[in-house]
Amino acid sequence: MRLFISYDPGERVACEQIARVLRASHEVWYDPHPESGTTEWGKVRQWLDWCEGFVYLLSPESVESERCRREYTIARESGRLIFPINLRPDTSILEELSETLLADLRDGITQQALDRLAVDISSAEKNLLRRRLDDGEGISAPGGPRRTGVIIGMIAVLVVAVIAAVLLLNDGLAGIFSPPDPPDEAALNEPRPTTAPVVTSVPTAAPIPTAVSEPVKDPPTSIGPIEGEPTPGMVEAVTQNADWLPQRRIEEINGVPMALVPPGCLPMGSENGEGDELPVHRVCFERPFWIDVYEVTNARFEAFGGVAEHPPAQRGPNQPRDRVTWEEAAAFCALRGARLPTEAEWEYAARGPDGLTYPWGNQFDGALVVWNAAQSSDVGSRPEGASWVGAMDMAGNLREWVSTIYRPYPYDPADGREQFDSTEPRGLRGGSWYDVNYDLLRATDRYRDFPVVENNVIGFRCAADYEG
């Protein structure tokens, strides 16, 4: 069945998860740019005409969204199968939708729930087609051919084949029966809305290191040195990744392996990515800092007394701890005497002064990253994909919370984006095991979500100030 997914941009991660499962047995399309308006309405309407089922991802924002309601109204009035799916406990569901609610995922999106959802949609399709046959109507899926039985179906196929042959001889009519072009799968990285639910409490703020940023038009492959000589006893600044490789330092800090990230500058952002990665600008770190070599694992989360409302979706001791909110991640790092890395720190640790596209280099290599998989893997299972400072899994396995409030570039730590007690959406960096599009694994790719959100593709690692 051909499915159209309507959603609010703030639920894009959920949309991607649901779409991936449904694509195993259905054709699926959703607007990759719902909040930016870059997809013309005529194109969206074309996909609505194309679809046979309309999947409505319900959240407080999508229920109030004029765009989502417009899409829903068209689908309903056109006789499409409607599949409402509730994502959030605070959603006020329309009565007409609550009566036909297909799935309630407000307690979290688990693999079991996704599998059940796929079965329910397939069953709903089959039941409708069976009722139409029993009523003598024949099968008439919206936007699809009408069939009243095997014989008539075969005749219909022959008729369509003849019509298609005729149309191929006439370029002016060739597109009439053609579905729209497939969506641009490489463009699924738009920002999310800035409204957020109220958060009742947050942990005590941790200090944020100083970083200085300035715009640059054409970022060089390596950045010039920071002015001034290094202070005796301090770590010397580097101007290219290769400067650090011979002296790479990984030490245990409070029993946890952490990689030292030296002072230096980063061309933050990308001219070859999404709009929220612009402008490319130079960010310099005057002091070194530490960052976890590995994403926080289930075993380490438990050993340090980490607290989370939800149990992990994947429970192997060395698998990264998922289903952790930003608040829970920040509180855990504080237990270790650490903090979440800033967005700039995370990107610098992943790319270095060279400004690499991926932690290991500028060419994608699927063998170096956990992606397009059924679940997360043990941390450090792709050691050849480590970043220039030795940090593992920065391109995949789990997306990672950063301390920074998601705001447009250029990055400026003094503009309020590092404010701790805010309910605004926080940044997420790095791809995940779930991603099938390697463009989403680039080290400059940006996500965001509300600090109270958790799911099975989100994890974290900690950072700490250098005290040497």
Q: What is the domain-level CATH number for residue 33?
A: 3.40.50.10140
Specify if 451 maps to a domain. yes
User: What are the distances in angstroms from CA 144 to CA 1, 26, 51, 80, 168?
Assistant: 10, 14, 9, 11, 20
Residues 170 and 215 in one domain: no
- What single string gives the DSSP state of each residue in 204-216? PP-----EEEEE-
**Last residue of one domain, picked from the residues 154, 187, 220:** 187
11 phi and psi angles, rounded to 5 deg: -110, 30
Residues 145 and 248 in one domain: no
Residues 260 and 171 in one domain: no
Residues 118 and 218 in one domain: no
Specify if 426 maps to a domain. yes
Residues 348 and 458 in one domain: yes
Helix segments in 140-261, DSSP class H: 150-168, 241-244
From 319, 310, 329, 308, select the one nearest 402 (Cα to Cα). 329
Residues 176 and 244 in one domain: no
Specify if 396 maps to a domain. yes
**Last residue of one domain, picked from the residues 126, 155, 187:** 187
Q: b/e per residue, 66-99, with b = 16+ CB within 10 A?
A: ebbeebbebbeeeebbbbbbbbbeebeeeeebee
Specify if 203 maps to a domain. no
Residues 180 and 248 in one domain: no
Specify if 107 maps to a domain. yes
Specify if 148 maps to a domain. yes
Q: Which two tokens stand for residue 318?
A: 């060395």
Residues 146 and 244 in one domain: no
Beta strands in 167-255 (DSSP E): 211-215, 250-253
> Mind listing the pLDDT tens digit of every residue in the chain (468 residues)?
789 999 998 888 889 889 888 887 788 889 877 766 666 788 888 889 989 899 999 999 999 999 999 999 999 999 899 999 999 888 888 888 877 788 888 878 887 788 778 777 877 766 665 555 455 543 333 333 323 333 334 334 344 444 444 344 443 333 322 333 444 433 333 333 322 222 222 333 333 344 544 444 333 322 233 333 334 347 999 999 999 988 899 999 999 999 999 999 999 999 998 899 999 999 999 999 999 999 999 999 999 999 999 999 999 999 999 999 999 999 999 999 999 999 999 999 999 999 999 999 999 999 999 999 999 999 999 999 999 999 999 999 999 999 999 999 999 999 999 999 999 999 999 999 988 888 899 999 999 988 998 999 999 999 999 987
Specify if 33 maps to a domain. yes
Residues 316 and 446 in one domain: yes
- Number of folded domains in the chain? 2
Question: Cis peptide before 410, with omega less than 30 degrees from 0?
Answer: yes
Residues 142 and 226 in one domain: no
Domain of residue 438, residue span: 211-465
Specify if 63 maps to a domain. yes
Residues 176 and 294 in one domain: no
Residues 361 and 419 in one domain: yes
